[in-house]
Amino acid sequence: MPVVQCERCGIEWSVNSVRKKIVLCRSCRARKVQTVHSAEGKCLPWAGFYAADHVTPVDDDGAPVFAGVRACGHNDCCNPKHVVGFEKG
């Protein structure tokens, strides 16, 4: 079996036959998720920066976005309906 190497990250895996010119692994081909479904409804994943704990979403100035506990359990959820105690100002 031929072995193929990902052009982006370098991981190697075995294939039956090489067919494509550009080879990317499954992880490198994955796209950003737009919505995640949970028991609370649709979650909106944060696509920006994170704090030093790698969990808390922050804006460009480093201020937490929608600070509070998420009812859905996803720490990066930015759906205001899922943030406990969040009120629109």
* 72 plus 51 within the same structural domain: yes
Chunked in runs of 10, what are the mean pLDDT values of the chain (89 residues)? 88 82 84 81 87 86 86 86 73
Q: How many domains does the chain have?
A: 2
Task: For residue 82, give the 3-state DSSP assignment.
Answer: helix
Residue range(s) defining the domain that contains residue 50: 31-89
pLDDT of residue 57: 87
User: Residue 57 and residue 79: Cα distance in Å, rounded?
Assistant: 12
Nearest CA among 77, 75, 65 for reference residue 33: 77
Contact 80, 47 (CB under 8 A): no
Q: Which two tokens stand for residue 79?
A: 């759906």
pTM: 0.56
* 47 plus 63 within the same structural domain: yes
Q: What is the pLDDT of residues 23-46, one digit of tens each?
A: 888 888 888 777 888 888 888 888
pLDDT of residue 45: 87
Q: DSSP letters along 19-31, please? A: --SS---HHHH--
Q: Which two tokens stand for residue 40?
A: 């609370």
